[in-house]
């Protein structure tokens, strides 16, 4: 305000002030972004307005406004209005004296101040729109660069292309909350994200399975059965029905299943393997490992902790124990089994407390809840998975005639080569009910066991390794 030749700042930011207007007062209110700092406020009002206008042109602000009000009262009437306290702009601001004309002038001032506030709001909204437009253009440019880079990498380095596309998706995910879900920008970014996700699936060899082929149904042999574990040896699948206590064999090439045996003890089986014509089933840590006749062939052993899986290889039987050991039982003539020997070297200590599955191809591959561990010649080797992370691993499968590791999870089968490099994955909602996996060589097919059914997924030519 300028009063009696002196200029003072009375309001700044969101503060407020109150008082009585005097003849000749000049009130100047400007948007914070526009307030000129070098104007001579001792000039005439029209000169002040001109100086502020010149200052605005030099500042080139995004938006804003400035209000200049000079108070010149008319001649007072003979009946002045009685003094009383009235609210002015906010409950904290009160006028002390007001004539009818002063009230009119204050009313005009209030309206102008409200108009100033509205202009500031619209100015801020305009500025926000400018910033949003700039942000949208920036994210489009960033994503476009990532896509161009991924396309240039092509099939030469698919992993790098996928990582570049993942970076593009991350940029979109971070930008989306900035925009209103009803805005055109938000909808365009959603469309762009779907396109990026499709490109990622292509680069990462992610195959979505709508409904795999039904390979076998237990009801074809016996109604009401269900199974959690099966085993592939040569061309024959052996599966244990833990509901009806039965063993079935299913030739892969013919699918004409046979009921091999029935025994109540089969209802407790948690793992199955075979060596030659001999079938071995893990009934429980307390019962031991039995054959198809229900006869205990191995154990129980006082050295055991908790056996979670068994596997046959080279005529020997291996038992995975969460106490940190892998027991080896040497096969003998006429199907005999020797005493257990600790397969892991005695001076090696390993943590297998989270182990849940193993597969053998000469090396022993152990799956736990986060990773795969490789053991060779009785010692662990440095090995880790690259290109993707395990989420909900359940079973691992490989053998000496294939070059890949197949890992069953809750919503996918993920494939790595034996150097740990990511290869591809198969996504299907039905994997949630799946409990076991094997892979046939010719034709190349993933077989998935889910309750009473086996489903088949044909692999691409490049995956049949």
Q: pLDDT tens across 216-254, in order?
A: 999 999 999 999 999 999 889 999 999 999 999 999 988
Q: How far apart are the first and last CA of the chain?
A: 85
Confidence of residue 432 (pLDDT cuts 50, 70, 90): very high
C-alpha span between 311 and 258 (Å, rounded): 23
| Beta bridge partners of residue 373, listed in sequence order | 366
The per-residue DSSP string of 46-68 comes to HHHHHHHHHHHHHH--SS--EEE
Domain assignments of the chain as residue spans, ordered by start: 2-127, 132-208, 213-463
pLDDT value at position 240?
96
DSSP annotation of 70 reads: E
381 and 420 in contact (C-beta within 8 Å)? no
- As a 3-state breakdown, the chain gives helix, strand, coil percent values, each rounded to 5, of 30, 35, 40
Whose structure tokens read 């195959």? 207
- Decide if pLDDT at 77 tops 60: no
Is the pLDDT confidence value at 334 over 60? yes
- Give the model's pLDDT for residue 159: 80
Rounded CA-CA distance 383/241 in Å is 35
The confidence band for 464, taking pLDDT boundaries of 50, 70 and 90, is very low
Judge whether residue 118 has pLDDT over 70.
no
Report the alpha-carbon angle 173-178-179, nearest 5. 100
CA separation for the pair 352, 117 (Å, rounded): 69
With a cut of 50, say whether residue 99 has pLDDT above it.
no
> Residue 89 — very low, low, confident or very high, per pLDDT cuts 50/70/90?
very low
Res. 307 pLDDT band, cuts 50 70 90: very high
Helix axes 158-175, 184-203, angle to 10 degrees: 160
According to the model, what pLDDT value does residue 426 have? 95
Per the model's pLDDT, the better-predicted residue between 419 and 36 turns out to be 419
How much of the chain, in percent, has pLDDT values that exceed 90? 55
Q: How far is CA 450 from the centre of its chain?
A: 26
What b-and-e string marks burial along 122-158, b requiring 16 or more CB atoms within 10 Å of the CB? ebeeeeeeeeeeeebeebbeebeebbeebeebeeeeb
Task: With a cut of 80, say whether residue 339 has pLDDT above it.
Answer: yes
Q: Which residue has the tokens 């039987």?
A: 317
pLDDT digits (tens, 9 = 90+) for 130-189: 888 888 999 999 999 999 999 998 878 888 898 899 999 999 999 999 899 999 999 999
Q: What is the dihedral of CA 201, 206, 209, 214, to 10 degrees?
A: 170
User: Which residue carries 């597969």 as its tokens?
Assistant: 359
Share of the chain above pLDDT 70, in %: 83
- Indicate whether 103 pLDDT > 50: no
Residues linked to residue 86 through DSSP beta bridges, in sequence order: 95
**Separation CA 296–CA 134 (nearest Å):** 74
Superfamily the domain 213-463 falls into = TolB, C-terminal domain (2.120.10.30)
Cis preceding linkage at 297, omega within 30:
no
pLDDT at 393 (0 to 100): 96
Phi, psi of 46 (to 5 degrees): -65, -30
And the tokens for 427? 């996504």
């Amino acid at each position: 305000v300028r009063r009696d030749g002196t200029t003072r700042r009375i309001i700044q930011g969101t503060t407020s002030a109150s008082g009585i207007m005097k003849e000749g007062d000049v009130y100047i209110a400007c948007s914070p972004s526009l307030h000129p700092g070098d104007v001579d406020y001792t000039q005439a009002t029209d000169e002040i307005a001109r100086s502020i206008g010149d200052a605005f042109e030099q500042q080139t602000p995004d938006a804003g406004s400035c209000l200049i009000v000079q108070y010149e009262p008319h001649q007072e009437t003979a009946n002045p209005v009685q003094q009383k306290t009235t609210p002015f702009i906010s409950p904290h601001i009160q006028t002390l004296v007001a004539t009818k004309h002063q009230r009119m002038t204050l009313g005009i001032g209030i309206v102008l101040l409200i108009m100033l506030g509205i202009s500031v709001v619209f100015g801020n909204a305009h500025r926000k729109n400018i910033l949003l437009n700039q942000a949208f253009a920036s994210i489009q440019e960033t994503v476009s660069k990532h896509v161009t880079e991924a396309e240039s990498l092509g099939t030469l380095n698919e992993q790098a292309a996928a990582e570049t596309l993942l970076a593009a998706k991350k940029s979109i995910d971070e930008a989306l909350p900035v925009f209103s879900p009803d805005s055109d920008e938000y909808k365009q970014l959603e469309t762009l994200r779907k396109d990026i996700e499709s490109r990622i699936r292509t680069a990462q060899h992610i195959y979505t399975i709508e409904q795999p082929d039904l390979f076998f149904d237990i009801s074809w042999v016996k109604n009401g059965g269900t199974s959690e574990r099966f085993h592939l040896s040569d061309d024959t699948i052996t599966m244990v029905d833990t509901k009806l206590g039965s063993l079935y064999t299913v030739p892969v090439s013919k699918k004409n299943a046979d009921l091999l045996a029935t025994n109540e003890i089969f209802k407790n089986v948690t793992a199955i393997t075979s060596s030659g014509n001999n079938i071995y089933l893990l009934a429980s840590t307390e019962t031991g490992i039995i054959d198809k006749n229900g006869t205990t062939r191995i154990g129980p052993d006082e050295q055991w902790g908790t056996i979670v899986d068994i596997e046959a290889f080279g005529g020997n039987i291996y038992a995975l124990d969460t106490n940190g050991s892998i027991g080896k039982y040497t096969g003998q003539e006429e199907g005999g089994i020797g005493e257990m020997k600790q397969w892991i070297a005695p001076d090696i200590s390993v943590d297998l407390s989270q182990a849940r599955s193993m597969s053998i191809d000469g090396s022993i591959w152990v799956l736990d809840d986060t990773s795969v561990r490789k053991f060779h010649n009785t010692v662990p080797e440095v090995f880790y998975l690259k290109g993707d992370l395990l989420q909900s691993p359940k079973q691992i499968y490989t053998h000496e005639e294939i070059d890949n590791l197949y890992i069953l999870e809750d919503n996918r089968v993920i494939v790595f080569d034996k150097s740990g490099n990511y290869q591809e994955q198969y996504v299907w909602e039905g994997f949630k009910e799946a409990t076991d996996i094997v892979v046939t060589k010719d034709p190349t097919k993933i077989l998935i066991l889910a309750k009473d059914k086996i489903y088949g997924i044909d692999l691409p030519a490049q995956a049949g390794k």
